[in-house]
Amino acid sequence: MERTSRGWGSGLLGVIVFSGSLPATRVAISGFEPVFLTAARAVIAALLGMVLLLALRQKRPARADLRPLIVVALGVVVGFPLLTALALRRIDTAHSIVFVGLLPLATAVFGVVRGGERPRPAFWIFSIVGALSVVGFAASRGGSGSLVGDLLMVAAIVACGLGYAEGAVLSRRLGGWQVICWALVLALPVMAVIALATLPGAWPRIGAPAWLGLAYVSVFSMLVGFVFWYRGLALGGIAKVGQLQLLQPFFGLALAAMLLHEPVAMTMVAVTAVIVLCVAGAKRFA
């Protein structure tokens, strides 16, 4: 019980950190192109991760760990950051945040496939209700310019769910923070080349908010949040603790309203309320 409680606590801290990711990305793309932003945040986080690994004298992963680390890198280092940055060029932050409600279901599915977990049937009912609430909200919004953005967000959620589940399984052997650090280091050569190839042409025109957004997604979204998140998934279970992500839209919408002054429709609040109830139900029956 104590192990599970520590897992939920650590996972909640990770969710709180991740809640600022989409608002920060929205701010960052006001000054940086999505591809450069994705590469730059990975390079900065990888350098910090390398310092941690060297300072704490962590041994290298085994050869068998390389494939899972590549999956983690493709999912959470490249896939989710790039796809969300591209999506945020087409939809606003508040709209994109609600899609995060799909992430717990994606993580739970991959947790069953990759982690061998078997939640009870009631767990899936609450998870699916939460996911359908998100899908229904997206469909009700409609709009000619948002379809591509919605599809990009769905693809981002799938990539992230896979990366979360794969990293959580690997965390049981390597440790939570070690997994994200090694995944970042593994991706560093490629991401460094991409960052250099897509350097902005007019640095003076990039405002302070864009730099702050880049700093947040590089240090917190790409590294610090994962330290808590992977530890939580490893201790409390991928499917169970993964349902905490249903709370992320609530935190994210609040940040979008306070920091970006974006309108938050009552439908968004209603969907978020349903999602919170689904978290409680999923936790009860996981």
For the beta carbon of residue 47, count every other beta carbon within 10 angstroms.
14
**pLDDT (0 to 100) of residue 144:** 44
**pLDDT (0 to 100) of residue 165:** 87
pTM of the model: 0.83
Separation in Å, CA 217 to CA 68, 76, 168, 170, 208: 23, 12, 21, 23, 14
Residue with tokens 């609430």: 133
**pLDDT (0 to 100) of residue 40:** 96
Q: Tokens in use for 254?
A: 């609040």
Q: Tokens in use for 87?
A: 């999506």
Residue with tokens 């979008």: 256
Domain interval for residue 20: 2-285
Quick: pLDDT tens for 110-154. 877 776 667 777 777 877 887 777 667 666 655 445 788 888 998
Hey, CA dihedral for 137, 216, 213, 78, is it positive or negative?
Answer: negative
Hey, CA dihedral for 192, 78, 61, 216, is it positive or negative?
Answer: positive
* Number of folded domains that form the chain: 1
Q: Tokens in use for 39?
A: 């590469």
Q: How far apart are CA 258 and CA 97, in angstroms?
A: 14
What parts of the chain have a pLDDT lower than 70? 1-3, 115-117, 134-135, 137-145, 256, 260, 262-265, 279-280, 282-286
Quick: pLDDT tens for 203-225. 888 999 999 999 999 999 999 99
